[in-house]
Amino acid sequence: MTTMHTGTKPVEPRLSEVPTPEGRFGKFGGQYVPETLMAALAQLEEVYESVRQDRNFWDELRALFATLVGRPTPLYKASRLTAHAAELSRRSGNGGQAATIWLKREDLAHTGAHKINNTLGQGLLTKRMGKKRIIAETGAGQHGVASATAAAHLGLECDVYMGSEDVRRQRLNVIRMRMLGARVIEVDSGSRTLKDATNEAMRDWMGSVERTHYIIGSVVGPHPFPMIVRDFQSIIGTEAKAQSLRHMGRLPDSIVACVGGGSNAAGIFYPFVDDAKVQLIGVEAGGRSREPGQHAATLSFGSPGVLHGTLSYVLQDPNGQTADVHSCSAGLDYPGVGPEHSYWKDSGRVTYTATSDEQALDAFTLLAQTEGIIPALETSHAVSEAVRLASTMKSEQNVLLCCSGRGDKDVEEASRLLALRNPRH
Amino acid sequence: MGRIDTIFNELRSANRRALMPFVCAGHPRLDALPDVLLALQDSGASIVEIGIPFSDPIADGPVIAAAMHGAIHAGCTPALVLDQIASIRDRLRIGLVGMVSISIMQRLAAGSSPALVLARFRDAGFDGFIFPDLPLEESEGWRSAAAETGTTCSLLIAPTTPPERAARIAQASTGFLYLLARSGITGERSEMPDLSGRIAELRRASNLPIAVGFGIATPDHVRHVVQTADAAIVGSALVRRLSAVPPDRSPAQVAGEFCRELSAGLA
């Protein structure tokens, strides 16, 4: 399958050959930022170009991945989850067979999610640029914790912007960030969630750009961020590809990942986008309903527009104001999405779907009780879709699920939400 | 020749400088804009920048961001602002420049085109535009739409902009050059930095008038800026006053008084 292009040269440019030097993924991407930031983006592009060919940089990052993060993360065969999918298949009259579900265990990465892959990479870039301070935005707190960890390891100063609503619902991560020596700055404007934290981080960067690097936590923002974050996160898909060949004997039939900004999905999808036979499915936060303000399913219900420096799908009202969003998961609660996902959606390469709060909570409990793995609420959205999808497939097929993060941070919020649903719980 | 060019030509031949206040449409009240514009015209303003409220203004500090959020909450939309401007335009001689996030403009242009959107603004009475989050690289479509509709498009030049790039931005701009006095976001500051080197450099690259903004809050700041620049832009200091209009005064009175105070710095 990986050699499907041999013999004839593909006529179309390969989907992986993006972005352009201007930062375009098809029509999406670009750099819609105040002029004050353009010099910093140019510097970042230049430093990143220089390290791309620099073995020392990648050796250093690989060593950190191996010894600090615990990479490669395992590929885990979820037998009881698969049996559950087969049971669903039997009940819905599909013959009782299901594809085998495999988990790429990013939840086992140090700090509990894939976010550390990006923060260590950008942390090393920060050192190359000679900057002493990093800032970050965070929703669920995983990117904040990963940034604080990279800062501690590399001896950098670290400030993390976090919406006050998220400070409440992800309290454990706030404590972790502070223990790691970072300052957590609560953001009280707008909806008090990830979008507003991103606004404040950008404002900080406008005034501090000469000594500060902004570690964006997802494949969003102005070029070159979507490319850099994707590249650092694509270690997920690169490892998963080799592990699939080893354990399944071939590539998976389908890959499922949750999408907020879209960094774990971009990381696991990107090494597979040119393998046309591998179905790629991104799962957005369907929230309470399809009504505006009740979900955060940007690719499912949004339209192209500019947010946080990039042209991509966005949830906007007809006047161009960013719409309110809702998700039970703080990490998916974002009205934008990475421009490469918009490109993949419009090209038809990736299918995007949405999972509701209720379905995600069910999947949270399901994975915990069938496999002994408590997933993050973000990840739970993908778990729900993977189980549904597997139950429609054949038993010799394989579904690869990106288990992007663990749910320790969510136990308080999830038990609160479960208790609301079932007071006897 | 458009109104912005005419205004600067007249000022130049009289050896005078311009005061360019910024106000946020829909702030502090949904219907405040027309009277505020009349008051600014009567108090020494040559051109007024009108901010169209945006939910996520990343270049703006807390004062302007709060004004924008308040205006959106009150129901301010681009269509409403255009109606207000159209209703007052024949009583205004001053230039009107829209300060609009490209997020808003892209959305308005979806299913239409940049030129059609700018024509709507022009027909309502706008003379030019500043898109604070549209750098040179992304600006071509909007600059040609401005040229096509006879409106001006001023790109921003920041302290972090290298000289060669600043020259290219200057050459791509029309109407006037918008020079940011500082890095960072909008807001009032106590000291004004020395901009004479950057201004001399821009004079070599372009004949357009130079307007300086970000952090200008007092008549002394205005005085300092117009020693070398052609215009001083005052934003947050005015918006802050409009956020705290006493019950016995109107927004127009407060705007007019502060503008008159600032225009003392032009003398």
| pLDDT tens-digit series, residues B81-105 | 999 999 999 999 999 999 999 999 9
pLDDT at A13 > cutoff 50: yes
pLDDT at A11 > cutoff 80: no
A377 within some domain:
yes
With both helix axes pointing from N to C terminus, report the angle between B251-263 and B219-226 in degrees, rounded to the nearest 10.
50
Shared domain check, A212 and A182: yes
The rounded mean pLDDT for chain B is 96
B155: nearest CA partner in chain A:
A35
- What's the average model confidence in pLDDT over B24-48? 98
Shared domain check, A142 and A57: yes
Shared domain check, A129 and A30: yes
Contacts A–B by Cβ distance under 8 A: 127
Say whether residue B155 is in contact with chain A using an 8 A CB cutoff.
yes
Active site residues of A: 115, 137, 404
Q: What is the extent of the structural domain holding A297?
A: 75-112+234-421
Contact B164, B133 (CB under 8 A): no
Shared domain check, A293 and A208: no
pTM summary value:
0.96
pLDDT at A2 > cutoff 80: no
What whole-number distance in Å separates Cα of residue A411 and Cα of residue B177?
A: 54
Shared domain check, A375 and A258: yes
pLDDT at B155 > cutoff 90: yes
CB contact under 8 A, B132 and A31: no
Say whether residue A219 is in contact with chain B using an 8 A CB cutoff.
no
Shared domain check, A324 and A280: yes
Contact B5, B44 (CB under 8 A): no
CB burial of residue A93 (10 Å; 0-12, 13-18, 19+): exposed
Say whether residue A130 is in contact with chain B using an 8 A CB cutoff.
no
A19 within some domain:
no
pLDDT at B138 > cutoff 50: yes
What whole-number distance in Å separates Cα of residue A109 and Cα of residue A406?
A: 9
Most A-contacting residue of B107, B130, B140, B236 (CB-CB within 10 A), to test interface: B107
pLDDT at residue B191, as a whole number: 80
pLDDT at B164 > cutoff 50: yes
pLDDT at A5 > cutoff 50: no
Which residues sit opposite B128 in a β-bridge? Answer: B97, B152
Identify the CATH number of the domain in which residue A372 sits.
3.40.50.1100
pLDDT band at B267 (very low <50, low <70, confident <90, very high): confident
A98 within some domain:
yes
Q: For residue A40, which residues of chain B lie inside 8 Å, CB to CB?
A: 160
Most B-contacting residue of A24, A35, A314 (CB-CB within 10 A), to test interface: A35
Say whether residue A197 is in contact with chain B using an 8 A CB cutoff.
no
Residue B191: active-site member: no
Most B-contacting residue of A43, A321, A342 (CB-CB within 10 A), to test interface: A321
Shared domain check, A269 and A123: no
A103 within some domain:
yes
Shared domain check, A332 and A206: no
Shared domain check, A162 and A98: no
- What's the average model confidence in pLDDT over A256-277? 98
pLDDT at residue A8, as a whole number: 54
Interior angle at CA A356, CA A351 and CA A359, nearest 5:
105
Residue B82 has a CB neighbour count (10 Å cut-off) of: 19
| Separation in Å, CA of A177 to nearest CA in chain B | 25
CB contact under 8 A, B160 and A33: no
Between residues A12 and A263, which one has the greater pLDDT?
A263
Please identify, among A229, A248, A275, the residue that sits at the C-terminal boundary of a domain.
A229
Say whether residue A188 is in contact with chain B using an 8 A CB cutoff.
no
Q: Which CATH architecture has domain B19-266?
A: Alpha-Beta Barrel (3.20)
pLDDT at A9 > cutoff 60: no
- What's the average model confidence in pLDDT over B232-237? 96
pLDDT at residue A423, as a whole number: 67
Q: For B167-229, list the strands marked E by DSSP.
A: 177-180, 210-213
A3 within some domain:
no
CB contact under 8 A, A36 and B158: yes
A14 within some domain:
no
Say whether residue B102 is in contact with chain A using an 8 A CB cutoff.
yes
Between residues A190 and A241, which one has the greater pLDDT?
A241
User: In chain A, what percentage of residues exceed pLDDT 70?
Assistant: 96
A37-41, A404-408, A421-425, B123-127: least confident range: A421-425
With both helix axes pointing from N to C terminus, report the angle between A79-91 and A377-390 in degrees, rounded to the nearest 10.
50
Please identify, among A188, A211, A229, the residue that sits at the C-terminal boundary of a domain.
A229
CB contact under 8 A, B183 and A308: no
Between residues A282 and A5, which one has the greater pLDDT?
A282
Quickly list DSSP for B74-103. Answer: HT--HHHHHHHHHHHGGG--SEEEEE--HH
Shared domain check, A194 and A51: yes
CB contact under 8 A, A39 and B106: no
> Considering just the CA atoms, what is the radius of gyration of chain A in Å?
20
| pLDDT tens-digit series, residues A271-318 | 999 999 999 999 999 999 999 999 999 999 999 999 999 999 999 998
pLDDT band at A1 (very low <50, low <70, confident <90, very high): very low
pLDDT at residue B231, as a whole number: 98
| Active-site entry in B5, B49, B188, B230 | B49
Say whether residue A33 is in contact with chain B using an 8 A CB cutoff.
yes
Q: How many domains does chain A have?
A: 2
Say whether residue A305 is in contact with chain B using an 8 A CB cutoff.
yes
CB contact under 8 A, B110 and A304: yes
pLDDT band at A6 (very low <50, low <70, confident <90, very high): very low
pLDDT at residue A411, as a whole number: 94
Shared domain check, A150 and A37: yes
3-state secondary structure chain A: CCCCCCCCCCCCCCCCCCCCCCCEECCEECCCCCHHHHHHHHHHHHHHHHHHCCHHHHHHHHHHHHHHHCCCCCEEECHHHHHHHHHHHHHCCCCCCCCEEEEEEHHHCHHHECHHHHHHHHHHHHHHCCCCEEEEEECCCHHHHHHHHHHHHHCCEEEEEEEHHHHHHCHHHHHHHHHCCCEEEEECCCCCCHHHHHHHHHHHHHHHCCCEEECCCCCCCCCCHHHHHHHHHCHHHHHHHHHHHHHCCCCCCEEEEECCCCHHHHHHHHHHCCCCCCEEEEEEEEECCCCCCCCECHHHHCEEEEECCEEEEECECCCCCECCCCCCCCCCCCCECCHHHHHHHHHCCEEEEEEEHHHHHHHHHHHHHHHCCCECHHHHHHHHHHHHHHCCCCCCCEEEEEECEECHHHHHHHHHHHHHHCCCC
A287 within some domain:
yes
Shared domain check, A193 and A261: no
Please identify, among A164, A195, A229, the residue that sits at the C-terminal boundary of a domain.
A229
pLDDT band at A4 (very low <50, low <70, confident <90, very high): very low
| pLDDT tens-digit series, residues A127-142 | 999 999 999 999 999 9
Which residues sit opposite A310 in a β-bridge? Answer: A307
Query: Which distant-in-sequence residues (6+ apart) come within 8 Å of A245 by Cβ?
Result: A251
| pLDDT tens-digit series, residues A205-229 | 988 999 999 999 999 999 999 999 9
pLDDT at B184 > cutoff 50: yes
ipTM of predicted complex: 0.96
pLDDT at residue B95, as a whole number: 98
